[in-house]
Amino acid sequence: MIPRPGKRTLDRLAPFLLLASLAVARAHAQAPEGPISPRPGVTIQQPPPQAHIKVQATLVSTPVVVHNNKGEMVTNLDAKDFQITDNGVPQKITHFDLGTDPISMVVLVETSSRIAPLLPEIRKTGILFTQTVLGPSGEAALLTFNDQIDKLQDFTADNDLLESSISQLPAGTSGAKLYDAMAVAVEMLTGRSGPIPRQARQINDKPVPRRILMILAEATDVGSSAKLGEVLRKAQLANITIYGVGLSTTRAELQTKPEGDNHIRATPPGTFGRPPIPGSVQTPDSEDARDGVNLTDAAIWTIQHAENQVEDHALQVAAAATGGSHLSTFKDRSIEKAIDEIGAELHAQYNLSYAPSDTEFPGYHDISVTVDRKDLKVRFRPGYYLP
C-alpha cells in the first residue's frame, strides 16, 4: 500500500506544481496552428518521389461485320462462333451484342464553301440519323467545320432537337480543318458512357456503349494542327468507330457550273468515284485491290508514326483503322442512301469486347477476329496503339 503524502509535503510541492502547469499552458499558447516556417539556411526535406501510374486500356471493343459469299450480312452467329486474338494471344470475350448496344454519336459535317451546293441535301438528313442510325436509345451531338469548328448541338436524345440542328446547318468559309475537327469529336466521345441499353446479350453485366464518329466531308484537310495518326490513336483507345460519307466536290461542281466546263475533276479526293465491284459492298477493303493501296496497312503505319499518311484517302484510312466503313456519294449513291446503309450496318453488326491479358506491352497491338464457319468474310478493327 502506497502511503498518501501528508499536508506538509503537499505544501512543499505546491510551488513546483504551479510552475509546471504554467509552463504547459504557455507551450500550448505558443504552438503554431499552421505549418512551421523553415529556419534560414536549413535544407527542407523533400517527400519521396511518387511513382507515375501508367493507365492502359482495360477494355477493348471491336465492331465486327460478317458477310457471306453473296455480300449479304450474316446475323445468326453467337459468341462461341468468334475467336479473338490480341498480338496472337487468344482472348476471352466478355461482352457480346448484335446491334442493340446503345449508340453515342458525334455527327461531324463539313460546311466549307466547296460543298455549299450539297448543304440543302445534307439539311434533310436529320430524320435519317434519328430514326435509322441512332435507334430508340441513342444520343448524338453535332459539330461542323471549315476554317473553324463549331459545336451546334451537344449530346442529346431529343430527336426533334437534333433534326432541327441539322436542318439549320450554316454555310461556312473555304477552309477545311478536318483533323482538328476529328480531334474535338474524339475528345467529346472519349469516356462517354452513353444511355443505358434496353436489351443486350451480355456475357457479363457491364453494358458497352458504342461510340460512333460519323463524318460527312471530303478527305481534304487544310490548316489543321492535329495529326491524323494521333487522332486515330486516341480513337482506337477510346473504342470509337469512324464512318465516312464522302462528299463529292465534283458533284457539287456539276450542280453549280455550266455543262461546257472542262475543269471538273474526274475523281474527287476522298471518294471512290466509281460504282462498286458487281456483287460486292463498296468499302475501303473492296477498293484496296483496285487501287493498289492497302488502306489497312496505311492506317497502321499512320497510327504507329502518329503522322498524316495517304492524305487523299484520310477518311478511308480512318474507317479502316477503327472498323468502320466509308461510302462514296459520287454517282449512284446519294447522301441519304449512304447514311441509310450505315444505319443498317450499325444495327446488324456484332460488338465484341475483351479485357486484354497483356496491357504492359507498348506499341501496336494487332487484333484478329475469325469465325468458325466457312465462306464468310469478317471485317473488324485491325488493332490499337499503347504508348
Q: Are strands 350-354 and 93-98 parallel, antiparallel or unpaired?
A: antiparallel
Q: Is 364 within a domain?
A: no
Q: Is 340 within a domain?
A: yes
Q: Is 158 within a domain?
A: yes
Other Cβ atoms closer than 10 A to 132: 18
Helix/strand/coil for 135: coil
Identify the residue with better confidence: 256 or 347: 347
pLDDT at 192: 86
**pLDDT tens digits, 225-247:** 999 999 999 999 999 999 999 99
Identify the residue with better confidence: 328 or 290: 328
**pLDDT tens digits, 339-362:** 999 999 999 999 999 998 877 788
**Mean pLDDT across 4-26:** 50
Q: Is 65 within a domain?
A: no
Q: Distance between CA 252 and CA 122 in Å, rounded? A: 12
Q: 61 burial class (0-12, 13-18, 19+ CB within 10 angstroms)?
A: buried
| Per-residue confidence band for 252, with pLDDT thresholds at 50, 70 and 90 | low
- Is the per-residue pLDDT at 100 higher than 60? yes
| Per-residue confidence band for 295, with pLDDT thresholds at 50, 70 and 90 | confident
pLDDT above 90 covers a percentage of the chain that reads 55
**pLDDT tens digits, 302-325:** 999 998 877 778 999 999 999 999
- Is the per-residue pLDDT at 170 higher than 60? yes
Asked if 219 contacts 246 with a C-beta cutoff of 8 angstroms, the reply is yes
**Mean pLDDT across 118-125:** 95
Q: Is 79 within a domain?
A: no
Q: Is 33 within a domain?
A: no
Q: Distance between CA 211 and CA 241 in Å, rounded? A: 6
- Is the per-residue pLDDT at 208 higher than 70? no
pTM: 0.75
- Is the per-residue pLDDT at 269 higher than 80? no
pLDDT at 14: 52
Identify the residue with better confidence: 19 or 364: 364
Identify the residue with better confidence: 2 or 341: 341
**Mean pLDDT across 247-258:** 63
pLDDT at 261: 42
Q: Is 171 within a domain?
A: yes
User: How many helices (H) does the chain have, and how many strands (E)?
Assistant: 11, 14
Question: Which domain range does residue 230 map to?
Answer: 102-255+265-349
Beta bridge partners of 240: 211
Q: Is 275 within a domain?
A: yes
pLDDT at 191: 81
Residues 6+ apart with CB under 8 A from 197: 100, 101, 102, 137, 207, 209
Q: Domain with 177 in it: what CATH number?
A: 3.40.50.410
Mean pLDDT lowest among 55-64, 179-188, 343-352: 55-64
Q: Distance between CA 262 and CA 277 in Å, rounded? A: 28
pLDDT at 312: 74
Structural domain total, the chain: 1
Tell me how far CA of residue 153 lies from CA of 92, 142, 177, in angstroms: 38, 5, 19
pLDDT at 12: 55
**Strand ranges (DSSP E) for the chain?**
60-68, 82-86, 89-91, 93-98, 103-110, 139-145, 149-156, 210-217, 240-246, 326-328, 350-354, 363-371, 376-379, 383-386
Q: Distance between CA 94 and CA 110 in Å, rounded? A: 37
For all residues of the chain together, what is the average pLDDT? 79
Q: Cell numbers of 319, please?
A: 474507317
**Mean pLDDT across 37-58:** 48
